[in-house]
């Protein structure tokens, strides 16, 4: 970098170095996060817009780092994806969420479905279906109570293999949802072939409601298309009652967001369920 003079800082800035080191450090720590019991799940309720009842929960992973504190999945899931650690983490999430849900079902607190996020790398594992089945068996959860959330980029990539896998999961009785719908690239003709149960409208469309006309038009289009294809539609990121009303008027089936509840700890869920049913 000698001859570059002060220009070298354009290519190799201290900030970049710090960022790279941080990611490397994070990856090293993440490798041990499961065995050190640093990962945990929080659960966000999903609500029927028609009846106001809880129809299920989405499991969301958290990392309590011993030094850095709580780390958001938006920060460490990409690291986990790139390093392949997401496979072990994803399996841990799946098993933990399924077993937790069985516990709540046995206590009569919940019915409906537990939704689990599946990343691209995880879905592409040849033994993905086996690990899903194993989680169900080990926890004693019936497949119709499990929903897998896949993004458009996961299902629109390598369509032949994907279709086979989705069909196998569907045969098992597991529900399939497309997450963050509208933010990726979906081929509508493939969408029609996939054995899907639900579309999740991304929160970027929900959060601009009810004022934003384009967001409203997109939400409306997704709901109509979803219903035409025989799918349920859920909106994520509902924060205000105006948003809820707007979506309900468009016949959106269900919703998720801070208006109803933030993602809750295992401890908070039973109390939430008792109170929410009463209101
Ligand atoms: P996502 O699957 O789209 O999850 C929704 C995110 O929106 C969650 O962020 C949730 O806490 C947040 N959220 C929920 N309601 C509201 C709301 O009303 N307003 C706003 N502004 N945000 C809301 P979180 O938990 O930080 O997760 C971020 C992303 O990390 C998730 O996005 C998902 O892509 C990924 N992720 C989380 N857990 C897992 C996991 O177990 N496996 C995989 N592969 N990815 C995960
Ligand atoms: Ca999700
Ligand atoms: Ca989402
Ligand atoms: Ca999202």
DSSP string, 46-64: EEETTT--EEEEEEEEEEE
Q: Write the CB contacts of 175 (distance below 8 Å, at least 6 apart in sequence).
A: 113, 144, 146, 147, 148, 197, 198
| Ligand 1 and 117: CB distance under 6 A | yes
**Per this entry, what is the length of the chain?**
279
From the CA of 60, the nearest ligand is 1
pLDDT at 22 over 80: no
Name 148's bridge partners. Answer: 116, 176
The tens digit of pLDDT for each residue in 67-76 reads 999 999 999 9
Spell out the alpha helix ranges (H) of the chain: 8-11, 14-30, 73-83, 86-106, 120-123, 128-139, 152-155, 159-172, 188-193, 203-206, 213-228, 241-249, 268-278
What is the secondary structure of 143-163 as a DSSP string?
GGGEEEEEEHHHHTSSHHHHH
257 lines ligand 1 (CB under 6 A): yes
Ligand 1 atom showing the smallest separation from residue 236 Cα: 15
Query: What contacts 24+ positions apart, CB below 8 Å, involve 33-36?
Result: 33/63, 33/65, 33/89, 34/88, 34/89, 34/92, 36/66
Ligand 1 pocket, 263 CB below 6 A? yes
Alpha-carbon distance of 221 to 227, in angstroms, equals: 10
Distance of CA 243 to the CA centre of its chain: 21
Q: What is the DSSP string of 230-247?
A: T-EEEE----SHHHHHHH
Q: Is the pLDDT of residue 30 over 80?
A: yes
* pLDDT-derived band at 1, boundaries 50, 70, 90: very low
Which position has the token pair 């994520």?
A: 236
The residue whose two tokens read 């809820």 is 244
57, pLDDT greater than 90: yes
Q: Is the ipTM of this complex over 0.95?
A: yes
Q: Give the chain's mean pLDDT.
A: 92
- pLDDT band at residue 94, thresholds of 50, 70 and 90? very high
116 CA distance to ligand 3 centroid (A)?
11
Any atom of ligand 1 within 6 Å of the Cβ of 67: no
Contact in structure between 174 and 148 (CB atoms under 8 Å):
yes
Q: Is residue 78 in contact with ligand 1, taking CB distance under 6 Å?
A: no
- Position 10 scores a pLDDT of 53
User: How sure is the predictor about 279, in pLDDT bands with cuts at 50, 70 and 90?
Assistant: low
Confidence tier at 17 by pLDDT (50, 70, 90): low
Q: Residue 230, CB half-sphere, CA atoms under 13 Å: how many?
A: 6
Residue 267: is it exposed, middle or buried by C-beta count within 10 angstroms (0-12/13-18/19+)?
Answer: exposed
- Rounded to 5 degrees, φ, ψ at 237 are 75, 30
Give 181 Cα–ligand 4 centroid separation in angstroms.
9
Atom of ligand 1 nearest to the CA of 73: 30
Close Cβ partners of 82 (under 8 Å, ≥ 6 residues apart): none
The average pLDDT across 124-150 equals 98
Question: Which residue's C-alpha comes closest to atom 22 of ligand 1?
Answer: 237
CA 202–ligand 3 middle distance (angstroms): 6
Report which ligand 1 atom has the smallest distance to the Cα of 256.
Answer: 15
Place of tokens 């009463």: 278
Determine if ligand 1 sits within 6 Å of the CB of residue 182: no
Helix 86-106 vs helix 73-83: angle between axes, to the nearest 10 degrees?
130
3-state SS, residue 181: strand
Ligand 3 centroid – CA 3 distance (Å): 48
Q: Report the C-alpha gap between 150 and 41 in whole angstroms.
A: 18
Mean pLDDT value of segment 109-134: 96
60 lines ligand 1 (CB under 6 A): yes
73 lines ligand 1 (CB under 6 A): yes
pLDDT of residue 15: 67
Mean pLDDT calculated for residue range 135-140:
98
Mutate which of 73, 128, 149, 183 for ligand 1? The one with the most ligand atoms within 8 Å of its CB, which is: 73
pLDDT reported for residue 16: 63
- By the CB criterion, residues less than 5 angstroms from ion ligand 3 are 179-180, 236
pLDDT at 19 over 80: no
Cβ of 97 below 6 Å from ligand 1: no
Tokens read off for 221: 């289009």
List C-alpha distances in Å: 110 to 45, 105, 243, 272: 10, 5, 26, 11
What's the average model confidence in pLDDT over 244-270? 98
């Amino acid at each position: 970098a000698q001859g570059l003079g002060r220009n070298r800082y354009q290519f190799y800035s201290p900030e970049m170095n710090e960022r790279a080191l941080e990611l490397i450090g994070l990856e090293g720590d993440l490798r041990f996060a499961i065995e050190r019991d640093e990962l945990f799940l929080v659960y966000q309720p999903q609500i029927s817009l028609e009846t106001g009842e809880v129809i299920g929960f989405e499991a969301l992973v958290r990392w309590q780092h011993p030094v850095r504190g709580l780390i958001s999945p938006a920060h460490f899931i990409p690291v986990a994806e790139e390093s392949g650690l997401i496979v072990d983490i994803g399996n841990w999430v799946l098993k933990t969420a399924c077993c937790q849900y069985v516990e709540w079902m046995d206590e009569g607190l919940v019915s409906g479905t537990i939704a689990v996020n599946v990343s691209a790398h995880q879905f592409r594992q040849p033994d993905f279906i086996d690990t899903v089945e194993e989680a169900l068996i080990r926890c004693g959860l019936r497949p119709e109570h499990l929903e897998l959330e896949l993004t458009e980029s996961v299902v629109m990539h390598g369509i032949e293999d994907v279709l086979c896998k989705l069909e196998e999961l569907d045969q098992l009785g597991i529900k399939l949802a497309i997450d963050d719908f509208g933010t990726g690239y979906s081929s509508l003709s493939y969408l029609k072939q996939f054995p899907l149960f639900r579309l999740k409208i991304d929160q970027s469309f929900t959060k601009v409601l009810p004022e934003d006309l384009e967001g409203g038009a997109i939400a409306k289009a997704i709901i109509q298309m979803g219903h035409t294809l025989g799918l349920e539609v859920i909106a994520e990121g509902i924060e205000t009652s105006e948003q809820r009303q707007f979506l309900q008027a468009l016949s959106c089936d269900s919703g998720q967001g801070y208006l109803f509840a933030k993602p809750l700890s295992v401890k908070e869920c039973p109390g939430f369920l008792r109170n929410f049913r009463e209101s």
